[in-house]
Amino acid sequence: MILSGYYFYSRYDYFVHTPVNNTNTEKMTITIKKGDSLNILSGQLISKNLIWDENSFKIYSKLNNIDRKILPGRYNLSQSLTIPEIANIITDPTQRQIVITIPEGSTIVEIDQKLTDLDLIKSGEFSNSVKKFTDFDKYLFLSHLQNRQLIFPLEGYLFPDTYFLNPEQFASENLISMMLNNFKNRLAKTAYLNAEHNLEQIIIVASMIEKEANKDVDRPLIADIIWKRLDANWQLGIDATLLYLKENREINYADLKKDTPYNTRLNIGLPPGPIANPGLASIEAAITPEKNSYFYYLTGKDGKMYYSVTLGEHNSKKARYLE
C-alpha cells in the first residue's frame, strides 16, 4: 500500500510539474465557456496535448480551489507550461480574452450598444471615440473622409467580424484600429482597384446591399440594380437609408417626405455616406455586380426576393407578395 501510494504521488507530481514539451512555446488557444466543468476543460487541454493527464489536472484544481477561480474566456497556452502555470493563466483576468462578434450590417451605434451590454464601456464611449478619430493619414482608404462632415466618418469601414478582446485592457481606440486593419486586409484581397467606381461609392452601395439582401445569391443582383438606377439618374428608393437616422428603426409617412440627404426616395444619387458596416460578400457584390435586366426588387412577406423589369410588374408583385 505504501509503495502504491508513493507510485501514485510520484506519477501525479510528475504530470503536474512537467510540461508536455518544455521547448515548444507555440501558442494554442482554448476557450472556456461560462459553466464549463473541469471534465470539459481537462478534456480540451488533453485534446490539444497541453497536459499529460486529465485526472492530475482535475486533482490539482480541486486541491488548490482552481475550479472556483476559473474565468470564462479565451486563453493562449503552450506545451511548455506546467499545470500550475496553466492554472495561473486561466484564473488571471489580465490573461483573459473575451469573444465579441460584430454582425455584418452593424452600425457604429449598434456596436456601441453591444460593447455596453458586455460592460466593456459606458454607453456612448465607442461612438465618441469614432467621432474623435483623427488618424486618417494612417489609412489610405480613409483619405477621402478627412474633411467630410458625416455623422460617423468611419461608418462602413469598421469591418464586422469576430474579435478577441481583453476586458481588463479594453479601449475603444484599440478596437477601432483592429477593425480598420481588418478592413484593410480584407479589401486588399478584392478587385476594388479595377472596379468601375471609387471606393467611397463601393462602400456606400455595399452598406445598402447589406441592409437589403437576405442571401448572398441576391447581393450581386441587387448591386447591379442599384448601379443601374444611379446611372439612369433614378431615385434609389431604399428605405434603409432613412432608417439610418431613426433610433426606433421605424419609418412613418412624415419620414418618407422629409428632405434629408439620406432620403433616397426624394433625392437622386447616393446618401452622404455608408449606412452600416458591410461584410465582404456585400463589398464584393458592389465591386463585381451580376449583370441583369431588372430595375426593381422587393422582399416578400415570405422572406424571398422578387425582381422586376418594369414598374407595372413590380407593382403587381407588391400587391401579390406584400399585401
3-class secondary structure, 32: strand
| Spatial separation of the C-alpha atoms in residues 96 and 80, rounded to whole Å | 19
pLDDT for res 6: 52
Instruction: Quick: pLDDT tens for 119-158.
Output: 899 999 999 999 999 999 899 899 888 777 888 899 999 9
Q: What residues are paired with 31 via a beta bridge?
A: 74
Within 8 A by CB and 6+ apart from 285, the residues are 206, 209, 213, 219, 220, 222, 223
Within 8 A by CB and 6+ apart from 210, the residues are 104, 105, 276, 277, 278, 279, 282
Neighbours of 159 (CB within 10 A): 23
| 8 or 113: which leads in pLDDT | 113
% pLDDT > 70, the chain: 96
For the cut 50, the answer to whether the pLDDT of residue 242 exceeds it is: yes
| 73 or 1: which leads in pLDDT | 73
* Cell representation of residue 252: 412613418
Contact 91, 105 (CB under 8 A): no
pLDDT for res 2: 46
State pTM to two decimals.
Answer: 0.83
| Spatial separation of the C-alpha atoms in residues 128 and 126, rounded to whole Å | 5
Contact 160, 105 (CB under 8 A): yes
Cell 445598402, residue located = 208
For the cut 50, the answer to whether the pLDDT of residue 1 exceeds it is: no
Domains recognised in the chain with CATH numbers: 15-95 (3.30.1490.480), 98-188 (no CATH), 195-292 (no CATH)
